[in-house]
Structure 1
Amino acid sequence: MRANYAAKAYSSVDMSSKTDNRRPEELIVLLCDKACSCLRRASMLPMATSNELDLDERLKLIEDFHKSTSKAMQIVIALKEMLDMDAGGELSQQLAETYTVIYKNIWTATKSKNTADLGKLYEALAELRSGWETVANA
């Protein structure tokens, strides 16, 4: 894994913590934290009732929803891109496929404004984050 790429990806999503001198595994946990936060936020927004809001509130809601989901997608893509496919072997391949599935499902849920699916994706990513935290603390 490339620590510099992880630090850059983490910084590019407006994270305030310092990324210097962090191990790649720690950076991955931080990235997963932010992606989970974004998915959780998007899943809790009242998209199903957005038509009941006045125009300004509806626009703010839609903007918040799309900012949250696009940040989550950006992070998942960064997680996939930082995998070292040569050194990681089968595990890297499985993680790449997992990140691809998550990204595609975030995209689909975003297009359809399906907050329930975003909640499920949050849970899936939180599980991955837990695994990476175990690795980082080993």
Structure 2
Amino acid sequence: MFGMMRNPAQSYAKVGLEVAVETASPHKLILMLFDGAIAAINIAKFELEAGDIPKKGASISKAIDIVSNGLRASLDVDAGGELGERLAALYDYMIQRLLFANLNNSIAALDEVVGLLDTLRDAWTQIAPGEQAAA
């Protein structure tokens, strides 16, 4: 009659995330993408150190997806001009470094991308339109 209940905490977190996404401003959504990419990379580092190569690959793939299909796809290069072009190139560079990290089990490359994402996230929080920036 009832399906097997998974982890209730995971179900609660998933619902919480869905609600947060549905109610977030476009500015907040970009912050969530930064946070998601950074979290996926940090998980990949933990998995790499633990020797769980398949999970490491999945986490890096998730980070690549967020950078490529989230952050990069959200750019309006035409409206952003040179800044938009430079951000697109930086996102492309991050994707290449993540691919390198995955193929070579490079924590240094993962750290590099986290540093770049942290810098962009910090800058993004500084331009919060009419709202308190989430730190």
**Cα distance in structure 1, aligned partners of 2:81 and 2:109:** 30
1:128 deviation in Å? 1.0
1:137 deviation in Å? 5.5
Choose the corresponding residue for 1:104, options 77, 92, 96: 96
User: TM-score, structure 1 length as denominator?
Assistant: 0.73
2:57 corresponds to which residue?
66
User: TM-score, structure 2 length as denominator?
Assistant: 0.75
Q: Can you list the C-alpha shifts for 1:57-113, whole angstroms capped at 9, x where unaligned?
A: xxxx12220111001000000211111112111111111011010111101111111
Structure 2: runs of 5+ lacking an equivalent? 1-13, 131-135
2:35 corresponds to which residue?
33
**Cα distance in structure 1, aligned partners of 2:124 and 2:63:** 17
Structure 1: runs of 5+ lacking an equivalent? 1-13, 51-60
**Aligned pairs, number:** 114
Aligned-residue RMSD, C-alpha: 2.0
Larger Rg, first or second structure (1 or 2): 2
**Letter matched to residue 44 of structure 1:** F
1:46 deviation in Å? 4.1
Bigger RCO of structures 1 and 2 (CA < 8 A, at least 6 apart): 1
**Letter matched to residue 39 of structure 1:** I
Moved more, 92-101 or 17-26: 17-26
**Cα distance in structure 1, aligned partners of 2:21 and 2:73:** 18
Paired residues for 1:39-58 under 5 Å: 39-47=41-49, 50=51
1:43/1:116 contact within 8 Å kept: no
